[in-house]
Each structure stands twice: as C-alpha cells, then as structure tokens.
Amino acid sequence: MSTLVWPQIAQPDLIKEEERTLARELAWILSSLQDTLQSLKAGLEECAALLAPSEPGSTLVLSSLRSENLKGFITRVGTRIVKGDIQLRLPSVPVPRGQPSYKLSISTQPTAPTLAFGQLTTTRTLINACLDVVDATRWTGDATNADFISGQIRLLHENIQEAKAALKGWTPSQKLWYNDPVDPAAFTPALPANVSFHLCISEAAVLLHVRTLEATNSNGGTSTPLSATAAAGSVAAPSYTGFSIRDRLAGVLGGGKQIVHDEAHEVFVYKGQEVRVKEKVRVESQDPSLMAAMAKLGALERNVALARRALDVVMGRDGEEG
C-alpha cells in the first residue's frame, strides 16, 4: 500500500516542502536537546557528588579469599586513602616477635605522602569537563546552530565514555604496579623494601595487590631478597641464591610447596631494579559510591548516544563516523 499526494505536487515544489519539513524537524530537535542537556547536567552533578571528598568517606573491608594472608580496612575520602590498617601473614614477610602478623598502617601524619587513586582524579576531571561543555552549550553558544550543537554533543559523549572507562579500569593510560611504586613513607612504620603495595580501580571496585619481591641475578638467573640488597653498604650483606635455607629445610622436612601465581616466572623492572614476584595477594572490595557513579555514567552515556544519533539522522549524517 502506498500513499500519494493528490493533486500531484511538482518536483521542485516537493523538494522545497521536504527541505521545509527537515528544517522544522531540525529546529524541534535542537530545542528539545536543551531539555536533554539540563537533565544530563543533573545526572553529572550526582556523579560528581558521589566522587566528592565528603566525610566520613567510604570504609572498605579488605580480606583475602580462603586464606588469612591479608585482612584489614581502608577509608577512602574522594580520591585519597586517609586511613587504613592491614595485617599480612606471608611467609616472605617476617613477623615482629610477639605479633601474630605484620601490620601495615597508613600514616596519618600531616607531612606523610598521600595515597591517591589516579583513576578517580581522571574521572572527576572528565565529569567537571562535561559540566563545562553542558554550560557552554546551553548559555554561550548558538542553540540554533546544528553544527555547533553536534560538535558539543560529540565532545560530551567522548568525555563521558572516558570517565566511565577510568572507573572500569585497565585503560591504556593506567600505570602498572611496577611503574607506580608507593612511597614507603606513606606507611607507619615505612613499607618494607621487598613489599609492593598497589591500589587501583577495577569495575568500580577497589583492587589491592600486595607483592613480595626478590632481586634477580642477571648472571645466573637466581634471586636475592630485596631486604638483603637494600641493607648492603659498608658491610656486605649475605647473599642467598635459589631457594632460601628456610625453604630448603621446609622442602626436605615435607613442608608446604612454594606458592605459584600468574607472575611467578616473569621479571619486572621495579625502582630501577630487576625483580621477581615471590608472593602475591589480590583483594577486591566493592565500593557502593563508585558502583553508583559508574551506573549513572553508563545511563548518561546511553542518553547522549541516542541524542547524538537522532541529531545526526536529521542532519543527514546517519552512518558517518565521528
């Protein structure tokens, strides 16, 4: 079934009518996008509030699965870790006499280095940039200029995608643990030389990796504990190759086997030194504020994508890239 116009309209007049209809549709969608931008701003402000440094912050429990290797908590305020106590029970971390485990405490001294999440800083920066784009589009630009509005919507879409990706984690710009060492002075007492403490965000959850390291011997491929190399000075520190004496005795006496993990056979450059990972503990803790922010960013991303697609269709750019 087809619909015909009767009496028939001449082709030149039909083209003019189509152009007028498209112009009215474009004017309508540009007007409706102002309401869309207002709702997007409200959503972005909610995301900004979830990531803002408000007291008392989020206290997250840390506990290793099916083991007592790591237990404790950290408190996040905005992008920073302001408090935390973690108990380690790893064979390669000596426990002080009379203590059940090795305690890592985040320093609360005013002069102590700050532990911060670079990903959250990136996310907050991008959300603020989105708010600036919305304000510029609504108040300083020409709301009737389709090319201008299209460019602003595209910029807004890209910024929201990047903000969401930063909360999701494992972006190309994210630093890996061996390129992002923690300042030992951020802990009280200072972090041992053979321990790597690395925090990041993955799928809107806080992910902690604690690794114990040993230096590699480039000549023979054997290893030396970093605590021994760090103590080397005027008096030569003892060198242990291969398994330590304790590990050898444990093996002879039927003790536990060495713990195998996914980085056991890799060599990394950490603080300018080639190292191997002796032991590794991974702990993940869900952060409700980050989960809510990521969900809201996902919804905002879909809304902006729909608005961008609708405008492209009316402008005749449907199917074009960028």
Conformation bin of residue 169: beta by default, left when phi > 0, alpha when psi is -120 to 50 = left
Q: What does pTM read for this prediction?
A: 0.81
Q: What is the pLDDT of residue 241?
A: 39
Q: What is the DSSP string of 191-242?
A: PPTTEEEEEEEETTEEEEEEEEEEEE-TTTS-EEEHHHHHT-SSSPPP---S
The residues, any chain, with a CB within 8 Å of residue 17's CB and separated by 6 or more, are 9
pLDDT at 268: 95
Evaluate whether 279 touches 92 at the Cβ level (below 8 Å).
Answer: yes
pLDDT at 232: 40
For residue 103, give Cα distances in angstroms to 19, 73, 89, 111, 226: 73, 12, 9, 21, 19
Give kind and range of the element (H or E) at residue 85: strand 80-88
Q: How far apart (Å, rounded) are the C-alpha atoms in residues 88 and 63?
A: 10
pLDDT given at position 315: 87
Provide the pLDDT for residue 243: 41
Positions of the chain with pLDDT under 70: 1-7, 9-11, 13-15, 17-18, 218-259, 319-322
CB neighbours of 283 closer than 8 A, spacing ≥ 6?
A: 62, 63, 64, 70, 207, 208, 209, 210
pLDDT at 234: 32
Report pLDDT for 183.
94
> Closest Cα partner for 101 from 132, 70, 127, 125?
70
| Integer angstrom CA distances of residue 229 from 50, 122, 194, 271 | 44, 36, 10, 13
* Cβ count near 119 (within 10 Å): 25
- Torsion angle, alpha carbons of 230, 235, 241, 245, to 10: -100
The pLDDT value recorded for residue 262 is 78
The pair of three-digit structure tokens given for residue 304, joined into one six-digit string = 């902006």
Amino acid 38: pLDDT: 95
> Could you give the 3-state DSSP secondary structure of residue 70?
strand
How many Å apart are CA 18 and CA 7, to the nearest integer? 17
